[in-house]
Amino acid sequence: MDTSSVLSGLNETQKAAVLHRGAPLLILAGAGSGKTRVITIKIAHLIAQGVDPRSILAVTFTNKAANEMRERAAQLHPGASQAMIRTFHSFGAWLLRRNAAAVGLPREFSIYDDDDQVSLLGTLYPQYTKQVVKGYARAISRAKDFGLTPEDDLSPVGSDSEFPQIYRTYTDNLRKIGNVDFGDLILLPQQLLAGNAAIGGRIRDRFRIVLVDEYQDSNIAQYKLLQSLTDSYSYVCVVGDDDQSIYRFRGAEVRNIIDFPEHFPGTDIVRLEQNYRSTGSILQVAHAVVSRNQGRLGKQLWTENPDGSPPVIAHLFDQDQEVEYCTEVLMQGSPGETAILYRTNAQSRAFETAFLRGGIPYRIVGTLRFYEREEVKDAIALLRFTANPRDPISLARIINKPARGIGKKSVEKILERAGDGDLLQAMRAAIPHLTTRSGGAVEKCRGMLQDIIGDLGAGKHELLSDLLHAALMASGLWQYHREQDEVAGLQKIQNLEELENAAGMYPATTDGLIEFLEAIELDSGAQQDAGEDAVTLITMHNTKGLEFDRVIITGMDEGIFPRESDLDPDSLEEERRLFYVAVTRARKELHMTTTRMRRVHGRIVDTSPSRFLYEIPRDLVEFAGAYSPGHGSPAGGSFGSPGGSPAGSDPAAADNSPYPRGCGVYHDDYGSGRVVRSDIKDGELVVLVQFETGRTARFLPAYSPLERI
């Protein structure tokens, strides 16, 4: 098969990289310069040259990337379907299954996830609190990222003198059970290849060609695996971009790519400098931002692409306007070629809600839809039960979560006694029929639920967000999910906070609760097929390697992105690299949005534009939104004058309600405040006001003494 036509679609440097043989090769190049394309074509070209596809191993960062690479390579040469194209972990699992006996594992071993790891440690160390156990679980994962066994010097992971023994006991027991954890999928193959000459030799002979994409995000253990996989007869080629290293928090080690020439002596380095993905102006923005970082190798990308339309920074009032802005942008072109990016998963909620209501198809990449996420479902079950203590499904979900010592049998006994009546009473009635221990646990849980319901009835809380927060704390669900976050970095708490934000729009009354639950039910029930033309909702981390015609980077506010305002310099540089990754996903059009206020913990707080926006020279961008500098208003507080006074423009002109968003109001009981939202509901004007005291309240101005000031 002739791949010369494929080669002719490459520039000279790319071609040289594809044709390169012999010494180890490092392709060090910026975003969109064709790194992934070079690897893919290299696979096809090698096969076309007569190389056995089974001798090629290509490692990518995600399964999705692996699938795409396999498909594209197979389009170029059908033989590529026989090459091994996998993630590091999936390759490790493959290797272990085939050589299970040699590492003392049964062939059918299972792979423990983070939860399983914690349970095992918990049974080994019942004297420790869950918190402590989770800390050790995390340390074990970190040690494995560094490629460290219990026998190694574990000081890079921590100085706890008990840790080595705990790590050893955990490992011994895991082996006894015959299972492995995620870290083992890298560590065990590495030990096998390095320690077992026969198997190591055989595998190195089989995979003569090893290619790695996104090498900047490999960890030390993966580097060691790469080394044990190769010898002086292997051909090794890694590609990556130090500016796109964004997984340090998971143990990624950017030094792997920087030190590659030392690790693999005789390395040839190829730099690809032409960007094919983005317009000139998008690249200029990307460069302006990333060049602020200190610790980088430094690359300058150029492009022959036209400058295109200037990137837009939209200064908006609040999240509702942000969603409106994104919707408008979507409608101007094809939603299927548009991606909405955000820093944390929880930020998807506002978009999902609006798109579901507006019938706009969307697809979420890398996670579940907001209302399908475990912690969100738990919180909703708790609220549903509060609204209706006859709901057995909701009770069953939360009665023993977190574990309270109420077993399945006890739950059955309670439900038997309920008929279709009040489950709180059924809980009480079941107690005499339970053991003292579970009876006590049931009574405690009943009391907790009773209190939440009582607080709702007594009007203890003002906003539903407060009630929800108190309920999550009292039920232990908050702590439960926070611990999970600490082990696995899952952002569950952010999702709960975002649900609280949504609840903050409702009063903590029975009606408010029912209205909120109804709105959620309608949203989560609205099924839709995300067809070809669905807009993509995605976190910045998940966009690695992807590209879209239009990209909207949302939530560019201090404290959201960068995620905290007072980050240490290294973490700030990592956030900036993440911004670079986000910007460079765009082919033709780039938008960045920032808002003046945002709901945080159910309250409206003033926000200021992300410092990253100030790092973009103003002549590279255009501004949009009522709060942008030069929009006929003093640019106070917004972009262009950091720290300026928050004197604002009056968006009244854009809004024809007598109480438009942002306008100042005065209420006899509450004092002065600002309108956050203004809607017509059932023919009545309803306005939501944030008062200077921090309180939020909804009014029907027709009936309440609300004055505009």
Q: Is 34 annotated as a binding residue?
A: yes
Q: How far is the CB of 281 from ligand ATP (least distance, A)?
A: 17
The residue behind tokens 């802005």 is 325
Give, in degrees to the nearest 5, the angle at Cα 630 between 624 and 631.
55
**Does residue 617 interact with ligand ATP by CB under 6 A?**
no
450 labelled catalytic: no
- The listed partner (ligand ATP, Mg ion, none) that binds 179, CB under 5 to 8 Å by sort, is none
Residue 617, SS3? coil
Q: Which is closer to Mg ion, CB of 214 or CB of 455?
A: 214
Residue 241 near residue 28 (C-beta atoms within 8 A): yes
Q: Which is closer to Mg ion, CB of 37 or CB of 596?
A: 37
Closest CA to 279 of 256, 302, 296: 302
Q: How far is the CB of 545 from ligand ATP (least distance, A)?
A: 4
- What are the backbone angles phi and psi of residue 552, rounded to the nearest 5°? -115, 115
**Does residue 389 interact with ligand ATP by CB under 6 A?**
no
**Does residue 469 interact with ligand ATP by CB under 6 A?**
no
Instruction: Count the neighbouring beta carbons within 10 Å of the beta carbon of residue 682.
Output: 5
**Does residue 72 interact with ligand ATP by CB under 6 A?**
no
The residue behind tokens 């300058």 is 300
Q: Which stretch binds ligand ATP (CB under 6 A): 33-41, 134-142, 483-491, 673-681?
A: 33-41
Residue 668 near residue 705 (C-beta atoms within 8 A): yes
Closest CA to 537 of 698, 348, 256: 348
Q: Which of 145, 181, 184, 214 is catalytic?
A: 214
**Does residue 94 interact with ligand ATP by CB under 6 A?**
no
Signed CA dihedral, 246, 251, 252, 253: sign only: positive
* Contacts to ligand ATP from residues 190-249, by CB under 6 A: 241, 244
213 labelled catalytic: yes
Q: How far is the CB of 582 from ligand ATP (least distance, A)?
A: 11
The residue behind tokens 């003569």 is 208
Per CB under 6 A, the list member of 13, 33, 55, 595 interacting with ligand ATP is 33
Residue 281 near residue 311 (C-beta atoms within 8 A): yes
Q: Which is closer to ligand ATP, CB of 35 or CB of 42?
A: 35
Quickly list DSSP for 629-658.
TTSSS--TTSTTSTT-------GGGG--SS
* Contacts to ligand ATP from residues 507-546, by CB under 6 A: 545
Residue 5, SS3? helix
Per CB under 6 A, the list member of 42, 86, 277, 296 interacting with ligand ATP is 277
* Contacts to ligand ATP from residues 543-562, by CB under 6 A: 545, 547
Q: Which of 299, 384, 550, 585 is catalytic?
A: 585
Q: Which is closer to Mg ion, CB of 487 or CB of 546?
A: 546
Per CB under 6 A, the list member of 13, 14, 305, 696 interacting with ligand ATP is 14
What is the number of the residue whose Cβ is closest to Mg ion? 36
Q: How far is the CB of 33 from ligand ATP (least distance, A)?
A: 4
Q: Which stretch binds ligand ATP (CB under 6 A): 5-13, 368-376, 408-416, 422-430?
A: 5-13
Residue 387 near residue 514 (C-beta atoms within 8 A): yes
Q: Strand 535-539 vs strand 586-595: parallel, antiparallel, or unpaired?
A: unpaired
Q: Which of 13, 14, 35, 145 is catalytic?
A: 35
d(CA 629, CA 640): 6
Per CB under 6 A, the list member of 35, 45, 72, 591 interacting with ligand ATP is 35
What is the number of the residue whose Cβ is closest to ligand ATP? 34
Residue 299 near residue 610 (C-beta atoms within 8 A): no
Q: Which is closer to Mg ion, CB of 170 or CB of 580?
A: 580
Signed CA dihedral, 608, 506, 465, 670: sign only: positive
Q: Which is closer to ligand ATP, CB of 268 or CB of 547?
A: 547
438: DSSP letter: H
d(CA 541, CA 555): 15
Per CB under 6 A, the list member of 6, 17, 25, 31 interacting with ligand ATP is 31
- The listed partner (Mg ion, ligand ATP, none) that binds 31, CB under 5 to 8 Å by sort, is ligand ATP
* Contacts to ligand ATP from residues 243-262, by CB under 6 A: 244
Distances from the Cα of 304 to the Cαs of 17, 121, 308, 350, in angstroms?
Answer: 20, 56, 11, 38
Tokens of 517: 């639950």
Per CB under 6 A, the list member of 13, 18, 28, 36 interacting with ligand ATP is 36
Residue 246 near residue 581 (C-beta atoms within 8 A): yes
- The listed partner (ligand ATP, Mg ion, none) that binds 484, CB under 5 to 8 Å by sort, is none
Q: Is 30 annotated as a binding residue?
A: yes
Per CB under 6 A, the list member of 37, 134, 576, 598 interacting with ligand ATP is 37
Q: Which is closer to Mg ion, CB of 61 or CB of 136?
A: 61
Per CB under 6 A, the list member of 24, 34, 512, 673 interacting with ligand ATP is 34
Question: 250-270: string of b/e by CB count within 10 Å (b at 16+)?
Answer: ebbbbebbbebeebbeebeeb
**Binding residues for Mg ion (CB under 5 A):** 35-36, 545
Quickly list DSSP for 297-362.
-----B-SS---SPPEEEEESSHHHHHHHHHHHHHHS-GGGEEEEESSGGGHHHHHHHHHHHT--E
d(CA 655, CA 648): 15
Q: How far is the CB of 213 from ligand ATP (least distance, A)?
A: 7
- Size of residue set near ligand ATP by CB under 6 A: 19
Residue 594 near residue 613 (C-beta atoms within 8 A): yes
**Does residue 336 interact with ligand ATP by CB under 6 A?**
no
- The alpha-carbon radius of gyration of the chain (Å, integer) is 28
36 labelled catalytic: yes
Site string (285-324) toward ligand ATP, x via CB under 6 A: ----------------------------------------
The residue behind tokens 């079950």 is 381
244 labelled catalytic: yes
Q: How far is the CB of 14 from Mg ion (least distance, A)?
A: 13
d(CA 405, CA 671): 49
Q: Is 48 annotated as a binding residue?
A: no
Tokens of 474: 């009292």
Q: How far is the CB of 244 from ligand ATP (least distance, A)?
A: 6
Q: How far is the CB of 215 from ligand ATP (least distance, A)?
A: 11
Q: How far is the CB of 587 from ligand ATP (least distance, A)?
A: 8
Q: Which stretch binds ligand ATP (CB under 6 A): 10-18, 358-366, 433-441, 467-475?
A: 10-18
Cβ burial of 242 (10 Å; 0-12, 13-18, 19+) is buried
Q: How far is the CB of 160 from ligand ATP (least distance, A)?
A: 38
Q: Is 35 annotated as a binding residue?
A: yes
Longest distance between any two alpha carbons in the chain, whole Å: 86
Q: Which is closer to ligand ATP, CB of 31 or CB of 140?
A: 31
Q: How far is the CB of 45 from ligand ATP (least distance, A)?
A: 14
Tokens of 427: 């809980």
d(CA 573, CA 199): 42
Q: Is 33 annotated as a binding residue?
A: yes
Q: Is 31 annotated as a binding residue?
A: yes
Q: Which of 14, 244, 279, 491 is catalytic?
A: 244
Q: Strand 548-553 vs strand 338-342: parallel, antiparallel, or unpaired?
A: parallel
Amino acid at 369: R
Closest CA to 475 of 400, 384, 425, 388: 400
> Annotated binding residues, as ranges?
29-36
List the catalytic residues: 35-36, 213-214, 244, 585
> Annotated binding residues for ATP, as ranges?
29-36
Contact positions vs ligand ATP (CB under 6 A): 9-11, 14, 29, 31-37, 241, 244, 276-277, 545, 547, 584
